Amino acid sequence: MAITQIRPPLTDTRKYLKTETVNDLCHCSSVTKLNCHLTMSVHCILALLILVLTLDDQVYSGKITGGHEAVPHSRPYMVLLERNMSDGKKKYCGGFLLNEDFVMTAAHCQAKSYVVLLGAHNVNSNSEIQRIFVEQAFPHKQFNATSFVNDVMLLKLTTKAKFNENVTAIPLASHDSGTLPKSCILSGWGRTDKNNNYMSPKLMETTVTLIDNKECTMENFYCSQGDTGPAEGDSGGPLVCEDGKAFGVVSSAVTPHSGGPDIYRYSKIPDSRNWIFSER
């Protein structure tokens, strides 16, 4: 998933964490053709998602540095979102489970149709992953595809998620108190290295520190900056902070015109709570 450049304003360049094109997904029958370097059983289940995905280009240089593999199933709210595009390709985003019926992700992750994967850690293993189709998508009515303000979306599942030790919901942060959380965690299956053309088959996580940025506050984002942050394939995942609550949704990145590390932006969940509960 490469970052797509947006027409820049005077002070910075905005870009979203675009997901990769997946007509090159490694199915059981296409490993040799795609040179995915996987040894697979001839009995593997085609329904099992093989997340070794070739990126469609190499524009974005960001990566999750200082990250590590999450303890298996320690983030049972995490969702891998399979997006079926109108051109027949597949792309991927992250997401998180709000309850048995709804998943939250980023509004820029819109597609023709969706399947959510629940209970995953290593998506290459034949584990008990729940695959559920999405009945209806509800992007925020005031989502701005240029500024990425209100970059949140709800997905209603066709059938209820089956809660177990590997599949549970995450609580949402309450209304904004005006103070920044001290430390937050990001999780996802996105790309882990700018020199690696594949998403991670295992769930990764890293810690970020939020910054006090006037532009972020005005546009209703939480922001972090530096070498550690979300990468390709992580859009729509949760920013989990104090008390294990979801405070934000991975949205976009800004490259300062004056140079320096990218600023990563997360749509504020506290600012969207009224909309979230009106749609559920």
Contact (Cβ atoms closer than 8 angstroms) between residue 266 and residue 150: no
222, amino acid identity: Y
The pairing of strands 12-16 and 4-5 is antiparallel
**Ordered alpha helix ranges (H), the chain:** 31-34, 214-218, 273-279
Residue 223, CA distances (Å) to 32, 148, 212, 234 in order? 42, 13, 8, 15
Tell me if residue 151 is catalytic. Answer: yes
Which is the catalytic residue, given 24, 151, 234, 262? 151
Tell me if residue 175 is catalytic. Answer: no
Tokens of 276: 């979230």
The SS3 assignment for 26 reads coil
Residue 163 CA to residue 70 CA, distance in Å, equals 20
Which is the catalytic residue, given 200, 224, 235, 272? 235
What value, to the nearest 5°, has the Cα angle with vertex 25 and ends 21 and 27? Answer: 165
Choose among 157, 190, 186: nearest CA to 249.
Answer: 186
The SS3 assignment for 214 reads helix
Tokens of 9: 């304003």
Tell me if residue 235 is catalytic. Answer: yes
Tokens of 80: 């891998």
Rounded to a whole number of angstroms, the distance between the first and last alpha carbons of the chain is: 30
The pairing of strands 263-268 and 102-105 is unpaired
Which is the catalytic residue, given 108, 187, 251, 252? 108
Residue 175 CA to residue 228 CA, distance in Å, equals 27
Catalytic residues: 108, 151, 235
